[in-house]
Amino acid sequence: MFSVMNIGANGINVQSQVLNALSSNIANANTPGYGERIATTGSMAANLVRPAGVSFGGQVLGPNLSLVGGVTLVSDVPEFGNAIVPSGQVSNLAIEGNGFFTVSLPGGQLAYTRAGNFTLDANGELVLPTGAKLFPPVNVPFGDTYNVEANGTVMVQRAGGTPQKAGQIQLAMIANPQGLLDVGNNLYTLSAASGPATMVTPGTATAGTLVSGSLNQSSTNLATNLVDLIQAETVYNLSAKVVTVGEAVTKATTNLQV
């Protein structure tokens, strides 16, 4: 049933979700590899409130009369950027181009991220601050110096020794990154919308290359998000006003009926 108050309440709910996405973007403006959330809205399906051919006041009203029932959140998806900044820490890795790092969570599940703020743990494995480990794992023996080449090859060397390959970092190629499911901590898992992940060597096919001692920046555009924040706040407040007006009209109509 068409209702002014329902439409207003619907607008408040949807704009709350838009504001949530914008707030997350702004808060993560400095988070390495963060994928900016793009929230888009669209009209709900129209409701038929009067069919064609109705007789009113001696006239036959020809066309259907339909009213849109409100707004809906069409999508809330991540959009990743490629901007890179140096960090000065050799274990930090950035992706120049397409692809994601694959990490294993404590329960064994695989997740994907553009955040390459890795460090070496006590076992010489590359891990994120959350404890998620790079997959497939790479082990750097304690005391060795190491570097990561653009193609993902990890070379280690003891003092006076010969450089040796310690591992190979791979990138996950995902057909539709916007279909990834956000599981928090800048990590994502696959979904039917994202499609499967294909592991490839950096620099092959359409995969990007690695930049050691650097990080991918957050893709948040502060200027755009601040403008969108003001607009979403305005729509939220107006939707609340619609609810207030609807309540007043309903109350007045009820009093008239009494």
User: CA end-to-end span of the chain, whole Å?
Assistant: 23
Q: Give the confidence band of 255 by pLDDT, cuts at 50, 70, 90.
A: low
d(CA 193, CA 196): 9
pLDDT at residue 199 greater than cutoff 70: yes
pLDDT, residue 176, reads 96
Q: How many residues does the chain have?
A: 258
d(CA 147, CA 200): 20
Tens of pLDDT, residues 47-84: 766 677 677 667 766 677 767 778 889 999 999 999 99
> Do strands 164-168 and 126-127 pair parallel, antiparallel, or not at all (unpaired)?
unpaired
Amino acid at 218: S
Amino acid at 179: G
pLDDT at residue 234 greater than cutoff 80: yes
Q: Which residues of 49-75 are buried (b: 16+ CB within 10 A; e: fewer)?
A: eeeeeeeeeeeeeeeeeeeebbbebee
Mean pLDDT of 89-118: 96
pLDDT, residue 61, reads 66
Q: Give the confidence band of 250 by pLDDT, cuts at 50, 70, 90.
A: low
Tens of pLDDT, residues 127-169: 999 999 999 999 999 889 999 999 999 999 987 788 999 999 9
d(CA 9, CA 70): 9
Question: pTM for the full model?
Answer: 0.85
